[in-house]
Amino acid sequence: MRPAMPRFATAFLGLLVSLCVTTGAAAQSEDAPVRYVVRKGDTLIALGNRYFQTPQSYKIVQSQNRIANPQAIPVGKILSIPRSLLKYRPASAEIIAVRGRVTQDNSAATMGQKLQEGTAITTGPSSFATMVLDDGSRISLPSNSAVRIRRLRTYLLGNILDYDFVVARGGIRSSVVKQKSPDDSYRVRTPKAVSAVRGTDFQSRFDADTQNDFAEVVEGGLSVETGGQNAKPLPAGNGLAVKADGGVITEALLAPPELDAPGKLQKDKIVRFAALVPGPVRYTIATDSSFIEQIADSIAQDGKAEFTDLPNGNYFVRARAISAAGLQGIPTTFTFKRRLNSVTGTAGQENDAFVFRWRAEGDGPQKFHFQLFRDALTNVAMVDEAGLESNMITLSDLPPADYYWRVGSTQYADGEATTSWTPIAQITVAGP
C-alpha cells in the first residue's frame, strides 16, 4: 500500500459528472455503502470483530441503521455499512503487456509486475501497457497516458471488489467482466467524470491540451448525471464529451470506417493505411486480436496514417473515425501481413558501359530480377536476367536510344516469397 498521492492526482478533487452503468437496479453512486443481509446468529458486535477495521465501529453501523440492540438483529434485515469501515485484502493489477517507455512510480515497469493500490503508471510516446485485474478484467493504456490506481481491494465481507482508477492524461480502455455482487465497484475517473461500470467495454479519456473529457461505450451502457440533474442513459454505440467549460455533448458514435485495401501485404518501408471517410481517424496496431500487445498508434487528421520501423510479422489494425466533438467511433479491425521488401535502383555510365545498381531492404535470402525495355509500354524485355545474387549489372554496346529499366527483389522469409519492383525508369544512350 502506498499512501503518498502523486501530484497529478490533485486535479481530480472536483468531479462534475457521474457516469454509471445500469444493471436493472439502482445505479451505484460514489463510494456507496455495502449492503449486508443479516443471517441467523449475526450480531453487530460479531460482525464488527470479524469484518470491521475497528471493532467498535459497529456503533456507527448501529446508529446509521437505527438498531436498538446490537446483539439482536432481525434475520433478513439489510444493513448499510460504509466501505471505509471494512477490512480488506489488497488486490493487484498484473502487467501482461508492456512496450516502450512505461513507468510505475517513476521506475521502469516490467512484464509480470504486480501493481498495488496507490501506484502511478505512465506511458510515453509510442508506449503501451495492458494489465489484468484479479477478477479477469483488463485495462489498456495508450501512449502518453498518466493513470493512478486509487483503489484496488477486496473487502472481506462478501468478497466485494473495489477498483478505482484516476486518469490525469491520456486514457484507459476497459474490458470489465460481469461482476458477481451488486456491491462490486469498478470506476474510472477523469477530471470532470466518473465512469462506474458493471460488465462493459468502454474508453475513458482526458485531453490535457483541450481540457476535455470523453467516454465512448462499445458494449454495455452508461447512465449519466450532470450538474445534479436526473440520470440520462448512454447506451452502447454512444459517446459523451465534457468540455472545458462544463458543457456536455452526447452523440451516436461514428460507424466503423472502411479502409482502402486494409489486408494488403505491406512490403514498403513505410506501412500505410487510408480510411474511406472524411476527417480524422485513430489507428492502433497490435500483435493480437484483443489488442493486449499494442505496438503503435496514431491519429491521422486526413484519415491517412503512416508507420515506420514495423518488423515483419502478422498484425491487427483497429481504426476509429473521430467526430467533430472529438469522440472516437465504433472500431473496425483488420488483419495484415508485414513483409518488408523494398528495393531502389540507380543507373549511370562508366567508360563505354552502363552500370545499373540497386539496394534492397528486408529480411531473409534475396534474389534479383533485372529487365531492360526498348519501349516503356511493352512487356517484352530486351534484357531479362533473373536469379541474380549481386546488386549490380553492367551492359555495354547499347545503341543510341531511350531505354527503360526496372529491377525486382524477391525475398524468402517465414516460408513465403515476396517480390517488389522499382518503378520503371528511363535512361538515354547518346550517339557519338
Neighbours of 23 (CB within 10 A): 17
For the ranges 95-109, 176-190, 202-216, 284-298, which has the lowest average pLDDT?
176-190
* Residue 335, H or E segment: strand 332-338
Whole-model pTM above 0.95? Answer: no
C-alpha cell at 45: 458486535
Shared fold status for 7-26+89-250 and 34-81: no
What is the separation of C-alpha 228 from the centre of its chain, rounded to a whole number of angstroms? 32
DSSP string over 256-307: PPPBSSTTS-B-SSSEEEEBSSSS-EEEEEESSTT--SEEEEEEETTSEEEE
We find that the CATH architecture of domain 341-429 is Sandwich (2.60)
DSSP-derived pairing of the beta strands 128-133 and 93-99: antiparallel
Ordered by start, the domain boundaries in the chain are 7-26+89-250, 34-81, 271-338, 341-429
- Measured distance CA(18)–CA(430) in Å, rounded: 78
* pLDDT tens digits along 107-138: 999 999 999 999 999 999 999 999 999 999 99
Neighbours of 351 (CB within 10 A): 8
> If pLDDT is split at 50, 70 and 90, which confidence band does 65 have?
very high
The secondary structure element, H or E, covering residue 97 is strand 93-99
Amino acid letter, residue 154: T
Interval 303-319: pLDDT, tens: 999 999 899 999 999 99
- pLDDT number for residue 255: 97
pLDDT band at 232 (very low <50, low <70, confident <90, very high): low
What is the structure's pLDDT at 318?
96
Q: What CATH fold (topology level) applies to the domain 34-81? A: Membrane-bound Lytic Murein Transglycosylase D; Chain A (3.10.350)
Q: Give backbone dihedrals phi and psi of 61, rounded to 5 degrees, phi first.
A: -65, -40
pLDDT band at 15 (very low <50, low <70, confident <90, very high): very low
> Distances from the Cα of 151 to the Cαs of 56, 162, 171, 311, 394, in angstroms?
24, 6, 17, 38, 71
For 271-338, CATH gives 2.60.40
Q: According to the CATH classification, is domain 7-26+89-250 in 2.60.120.1440?
A: yes
Assigned C-alpha cell, 382: 530486351
- Segment 403-409 shows an average pLDDT of 95
Residue 191 DSSP class: T
